[in-house]
Structure 1
Amino acid sequence: MSQTTGGCVQNLLNLIENITADVLPLKDVTKILDVALNTSEKIVGSSSSPDELVTYGNRVLKASEKLISTLVKPTDTSDSVSFTLDTVEVQVFMVGPQVSLNQIPQLDTANASVDIDLIGIAKNNHETKSAAVAFMSYNTMENVLRPDFFNTSDDTVKTMMSTVISATLPKTDNRALAKPVNFTLKHIREFVSGGNLSCVYWNISEWIVDGCSVVKTNSSHTVCSCDHLSTFALIMQTSSPPEDDPLMEILNLVAVIVGLVYLSLALLTFAFCRWNPGVNNVARINICLSLLLAHLLFLLTQQFLNYIHPNQVLCAVISGVLHFFFLSSFVWMLIEGVLLFICVKNLSQISSKQREVLSSGFMIVIGYVIALVVVGVSAGLVPEGYGSEKCWIRRENGFIWSFLGPVCFILAINTILFISIIVSVNSTLKRLNAKVSQIKQIKIMVFKTVAQFVVLGCPWILGFFTNSSKIVEIVFLSLNSQQGTFIFLIHCVFNDEVRQQYVKLLSAILPGLQPRTIKNAPQNSSKTSVSMFSG
């Protein structure tokens, strides 16, 4: 099948190259060009050899230029033709001897533009006093004319940062440029700080830089100046990235999967167990829900990144959704911290007065609207900030702070709340009598205190120091992927009422198992103190 299709493409390219018609209708040109580019894209795959890619690339470029030249018609003043296909965008501009324009309008496509002194070129054509320029932006040509064909002496990673573009002067006798031509190329991938950008053109079998230079650049666009017309692109060279640690990848995968399991168990427990009317689980349920959706989407995205990333729109949408879910989970951690602080201050579970101040409806609005507003404003101000190489937030221009800013603020508040809670709990424990302050009770309290520290998201602070130590990175990954595990332990497993319901359920499933009687703490004051973390 591939050989038959390849033969068809070869025949099609031969027919295009041998076209004798001077002018063709726009409808015919677009149909033929669409078939040629789409079919070539399907044939040339990752298994193709470099020689096959070069051959196909050269023939497709030649055939495309031949087809586009048939759109050029004689004109006394000026005329233009443009069209857009899935594989290419084309703009053709023509001037004649009686042109009344002072300068040619900028030729624009979605990802590139060109400024050319076409009037100056026409004046140099002494016989006809006319000229035409054809500007093409290929959306898939980088798969054929790959950045690896840019031969450099150093061992660097080469990335195509723009669409491949072509600029030619069809049916123009004197093609000498009056002055250099400037191309503005939009970056189609995230610019890496420290990367070296090169404006290159295609020279039969490789990308070279002769006659082209970078005029100016920023995080989203680069302006190239060239003293000739050809097929151009923007290539970035970066140092070879360090190899991924397979152990860390396995640890990350296992930790996230375990966390997802316990998040699911916690949600099921919150949903199906009977809870004391004084217990408000809204924040905990929504922490679990936000983290579950965020980690699950992130895990699936990374597993299928090779299929997702080429679709820039899908990649950007996923990064925006991830931004929302992770941000909302932090907002819910803040709400949980506030609720716990109120609980500790009152030395009881949340009262009806407290629930009036922090009602479920109010908390849900705060928990999701704040995250939605931040993501909406971020997307509105810097829409290109979403869709990095990992389908996450881009780091250039400080856009990453649309996530880190709110997170740092929430972590700072939760840390302050946690310290205040510990001080209050410590003063309460000192008031307990010696019988209550047993070693077992202290151990339980210490565990629940540390666990609550994780639930409130405070270990995320370690994320700022993961580059300095592998141990810190492992601790950071282990703690923050297991927030659901700690929620399940302290609010479900170590909750007396829930544990009794677990035992009853097991005894119903296994008749031989008899429920155990779970003793309450001997003093109301101790139960109150412990329930601050369990209720």
Structure 2
Amino acid sequence: MLVQNVETSTVTTQHREHITNNNTEVDIMHVGPNTSLTGSLQLKTTDIVLEIDLLGIAQNNNGSASVVLLTSNHLHTVFNNSHFHTANVKRTYMGAKVVLIGLPQAMVKTLSKPINLTFQHFNVSDPADKPACVYWSEGAWATDGCSASESNSTHTVCSCTHLSTFAMIMQTNPTTESDPVVEALGAFFVLVGLVFLTLALLTFALCRRNSRVTNMARLNLSVCLLLAHALFLLTQTTLRLIQPLMALCKLLAGVLHFLFLCCFVWMSAEAVLLFLSVRKLRQIKAKDRTGPHWRYKLLIGYGIPLVIVAISAIARPDGHGSDKCWLVTENGFNWSFLGPVCLILSGNIILFIIIFLTIHTTLKSARSEASKVKYTRLLLFKIMAQCVILGCPWIFLMASKESRVLEVLFVFLTSQQGTVIFLIHCLLNDEVRKQYATWWQNYVSSKLQSGSTSVVLTAMTQQSSNSQTGHTSLNTYTEAEPDKGD
């Protein structure tokens, strides 16, 4: 009745009503064509503040509009967090009162600007807890069009692009229930993988002129893996400090998203380069250099992941920054990473089949050098193994939330990608083993030379010392002889 009276009033400037009883509190504002109001309007009830551009709404509604802000002391017990379904958290609770906002009898209810709702928390919240701004839609709480723009332990500001019944639900941090033994094992696995990946990268850098040891794609793949795993280890070991800093958490998730996509793109680029070289096996004198210029390789290897991450961030600004500073799984946003990965792996499988058939045909026709075909076939199986160890562990990521064993298996396999690269491209490579032997022989010979030099110097020092001692004794004897004669 109060809302109806305000709406049907003949006030052409502005009129405000505020009513409070034991259970409900209402704040109503009406503006007419002759209002003196300028800027955004603030409506307030206990624990709630609404900021809305009522003048912008009135301009599309014959110059007048009304807004209602209603809060209840008990609605949150009925429309509670059990109606909020999310996959990436284990526990939720109602963080503030339920709020209803409406534009009674307005012909146009489109907002000219998003509204800002400031909720006061029921209790001081844990800094690690994550607020979710939700609205009531078809019997459940939904998050579309609403996001938390600011939050601290006592207040949360929600920005929404539409009007409805709103609430603020706190999501507890699942990492507080994580197993410290699993975390320690994960950090140890990643550290071991980083050591072997560093050794592989040093080997590739020192043998960069040998095409049978490394190429541009393999070198960039190792660099991206090293940066991604190092950043992942840093993020997970300092997760409790990073989580309250939402902007930093989103930035780290975006960078990890980019680096891991770069790994898969460079892995695919290596398969493409192998395919291009296999096509020339039928020529007896095939050129060693295949593929586009290195500038175009860099543009493809880093440009494609950058475009994917940028489009994902624009389409879902809240998609980066989950409870573990990774991709949010709600609404399938994690497929912005898994989708390109599946596409790349599928393309690699097709390329491997074509390469295998080409090698088989070349062997039957004997149109190429046997050594070149043998080397290409060995390289094919090495890159296939590399593709498997880089791609298949991510399958466990989708099921790791349900099983601790799969989570440990995923962390172990992904952390040892650098170990596998060092094994198949360094230890199992004849050229690298020969180079390792040469380096070791040079090291041993230098040690022997330095050792022999030190022995000679020591001998010369001792000889000089003995000479000086003998000369001193002789002088002593000569000086003592006259005394003895006397």
TM-score bucket of the superposed structures, by smaller chain: 0.5 to 0.7
- 325, 330, 341: which is aligned to 1:396? 330
SS in 2 for 1:484: helix
- Partner residue of 2:302? 368
Counterpart secondary structure, 2:340: helix
Q: Over residues 326-351 of structure 1, what are the superposed CA-to-partner deviations in whole Å (9 max), with x where a residue is unaligned?
A: 11111111111212333445459999
Q: Go from structure 1 to structure 2 and tell me whether the alpha carbon gap of 1:254 and 1:431 turns closer, same or farther (over 3 Å shift).
A: farther
The answer to whether 1:219 aligns with 2:153 is no
Q: With the length of structure 1 as denominator, give the TM-score of the two structures.
A: 0.51
Aligned to 1:261: 195
User: Could you say which residue in structure 2 is the equivalent of 1:100?
Assistant: 35
Contact kept, 8 Å, 2:190 with 2:416, in 1: the verdict is yes
Distance 1:78 1:486, change over 3 A: same
Is the alpha carbon distance of 1:354 and 1:403 closer, same or farther for their aligned partners in structure 2, counting shifts above 3 Å? Answer: farther
Separation in structure 2 between the aligned mates of residue 513 and residue 427 of structure 1, nearest angstrom:
51
Alignment deviations for residues 284-311 of structure 1 (CA, whole Å, 9 cap, x no partner): 1111111111111121111112221212
**Contact 1:506–1:513 (CA under 8 A) maintained in structure 2:** no
Aligned residue for 1:294?
A: 228
Contact 2:95–2:122 (8 Å) recurs in 1? no
**Cα 1:452–1:234 shift into 2, 3 Å:** closer
Tell me how far apart the structure 1 counterparts of residues 319 and 363 of structure 2 sit (CA, whole Å). 50
TM-score normalised by length of structure 2: 0.56
Conserved 8 A contact 2:239-2:324: yes
Contact 2:213 2:426 in 1 (8 A): no
Give the equivalent residue in structure 2 for 1:486: 420
CA 115–249 in structure 1, closer or farther in 2 if over 3 Å, else same: same
CA, structure 1 residues 378+225, in 2 after alignment: closer, same or farther (shift >3 Å)?
Answer: closer
Q: Where does 1:96-175 land on structure 2 (aligned, <5 Å)?
A: 100=35, 106-107=41-42, 113-114=50-51, 157-158=91-92
Name the counterpart of 2:349. 415
Do the aligned partners of 1:264 and 1:292 also contact (CA within 8 Å) in 2? yes
SS state at 2:169 partner? strand
Match of 1:7 in 2: none
Greater CA radius of gyration, 1 or 2? 2
User: Does structure 1 retain, via aligned residues, the 8 Å contact 2:401–2:407?
Assistant: yes
**Contact 1:455 1:487 survives alignment (8 Å):** no
**How far has the Cα of 1:394 moved from its partner?**
1.8
What is the aligned partner in structure 2 of residue 316 from structure 1? Answer: 250
CA displacement at 1:318 relative to structure 2: 1.3
AA of the residue aligned to 1:398:
G
Indicate the percent of aligned positions where both proteins have the same amino acid: 43
Q: What's the counterpart of residue 377 of structure 1?
A: 311
Give me the whole-angstrom Cα distance separating, in 1, the residues matched to 2:342 and 2:413. 18
Contact 1:493-1:499 within 8 A present in 2 as well:
yes
Q: CA deviation at 1:484?
A: 1.4
How has the CA–CA distance of structure 1 residues 371 and 239 changed in structure 2, closer, same or farther, with 3 Å as cutoff? Answer: closer
User: What per-residue deviation string (whole Å, max 9, x for no partner) do you get for residues 340-394 of structure 1?
Assistant: 3334454599997573533322211100000111112222232222222211222
**Is residue 218–residue 270 contact of structure 2 (8 Å, CA) maintained in 1?**
yes
Distance 1:504 1:203 in 2: 68
Q: 1:425 to 1:201 in 2, by over 3 A?
A: same
Residue in structure 2 matched with residue 29 of structure 1 by the alignment = none
Worse-superposed segment, 455-464 or 477-486? 455-464
Residues 187 and 108 of structure 1, relative CA distance in 2, 3 Å threshold? closer
User: What is the RMSD computed on CA atoms of the aligned residues?
Assistant: 5.4
SS in 2 for 1:501: helix
Deviations 1:461-506 (A, max 9, x none): 4444546766655544333322211221222222222222212222
Q: 1:114 to 1:297 in 2, by over 3 A?
A: same
Contact in 2 for aligned 1:263/1:484 (Cα 8 Å): yes
Secondary structure of the 1:234 match is: strand
Structure 1: which amino acid aligns with 2:236? Q
Indicate whether 1:328 and 2:262 are aligned: yes
